[in-house]
Structure 1
Amino acid sequence: MNEGLISSRYAKALLKFALEHKITDRIYEDVKILEQSFATHPDLQKALINPVLTATEKVSLLAAAVGEKPSEEFLRFVRLVTKNRREEFMRQIGLMYQKLYRESKGISLVHIVTAIGLDEETLAKIKELVREKVSDKVEFTYEVDPSIIGGFVLKVDSMQLDASVNNELKLLRLKLLNSKKRL
């Protein structure tokens, strides 16, 4: 069966359950923490596909990855996923749940990358500009990446504005290569 289809079905079921029990926000927080655990500990995914670990051990592992006190409803969902032997899809399910949650709440995901750190006042201005153009509900993340040399990269949901010096240099290089071919 298709990985995307499996993840989508489980995420939709989790969202429906969370809506019925009015715990969408709590589940969203649990899923975000789980995703951070997957990002910072790549071995977590390897452990989930390890056939030596029992389902109970995998549930305990995922509960620990969520942090101190995951919600009981989330743990019930994790038990269901492991019972159905779909634990290898937990990361994709979590990502899909986040996407569905943001769509249902009208939240835009905004990520900005700059070459040097920005002060809080500048970040606040950027956030306000993005809120005016996109929507009032924005989930904002910020990252410093010196490899872009200068400028910024702004991602809003699936759209990207790359105004980095690194990108401009790449475009200039392509223009030069294309002009050589014409000669």
Structure 2
Amino acid sequence: MTDTSSFVSGVAHRYASALFELALEANALDKVAADLDAFGALLSESADLDRLVKSPVFRAEDQSRAIGAVLDRAGIAGFAANFILLAARNRRLFAIADMIRGYRQLVAAHKGEVTAEVVSAEPLGEAQLAALKQALIGASSAKEIRVAAKVDPSILGGLIVKVGSRMIDTSLKTKLSSLKVALKEVR
């Protein structure tokens, strides 16, 4: 059995890097990112489109024709459209989600942005998000922090913040678990 995850990562990275270089040279990083995000949203919303992209059953010509129609209807053109169509012609659409993610990471690194994944028990307000961003900028070397907020009521309270490989867990659930373990050790 072969490990396809490294192959997908390699393919996605090569395609994303090539698109990034072209978009950077043409000063179109944000336009391409917006178009790729729009296509990514279409993928997540449509099970049929996702199946078309991932299925090896469809011929490259059929995928290209169908993807071309989707791109036209969505108003996605230029570098992003050509990129997605190239992936279809080269039978690499199965990795398009990883390519989009890779492109976003390259753009973020170029701009000095860092993404923080934040989990809270309840949705954070604008003031809380702004304060959290400022605290994270102060604690890191990032110029800009993008917050990917998620809500998980099971953490009961507090926050779980992950920036890169670092994670800070101040959730009430974790604190209660630690207290439970400590009380068991006392017995």
What TM-score does the superposition give when structure 1 sets the normalisation length?
Answer: 0.82
1:58 pairs with 67, 71, 81, which one? 67
Query: Aligned in 2, Cα 1:29/1:152: closer, same or farther, shift over 3 Å?
Result: same
Contact 2:17 2:106 in 1 (8 A): yes
For 2:37, the aligned partner's letter is K
Which residue number corresponds to residue 150 of structure 2?
143
Deviation at 1:174, TM superposition (A): 5.5
Matching of residue 33 in structure 1 with residue 38 in structure 2: yes
Greater alpha carbon shift after TM alignment, 21-30 vs 4-13:
21-30
Greater alpha carbon shift after TM alignment, 89-98 vs 135-144:
135-144
Alignment partner of 1:29: what SS?
A: helix
Which residue number corresponds to residue 157 of structure 1?
164
Report the Cα distance in structure 1 between the residues aligned to 2:44 and 2:54, rounded to whole angstroms. Answer: 16
Deviation at 1:41, TM superposition (A): 4.2
Structure 1: stretches of 5+ with no match in the other structure: none
Greater alpha carbon shift after TM alignment, 129-138 vs 148-157:
129-138
Alignment partner of 1:118: what SS?
A: coil
Overall identity of the aligned pairs, in % = 24
Which residue number corresponds to residue 78 of structure 2?
72
Report the Cα distance in structure 2 between the residues aligned to 1:164 and 1:43, rounded to whole angstroms. Answer: 38
Contact 1:111 1:156 in 2 (8 A): yes
Which residue number corresponds to residue 126 of structure 2?
120
Q: Provide the aligned C-alpha RMSD in A.
A: 2.6
Deviation at 1:78, TM superposition (A): 1.1
For 1:73, the aligned partner's letter is F
Question: What's the CA shift string for 1:7-66, capped at 9, x where partnerless?
Answer: 1111111111111211111111222333334444455332213324612113334x27xx
Question: What's the CA shift string for 1:89-129, capped at 9, x where partnerless?
Answer: 10011111111111121111122221123332222222221
For 1:106, the aligned partner's letter is G
Which residue number corresponds to residue 8 of structure 1?
13
Contact 1:35 1:95 in 2 (8 A): no
What TM-score does the superposition give when structure 2 sets the normalisation length?
Answer: 0.80
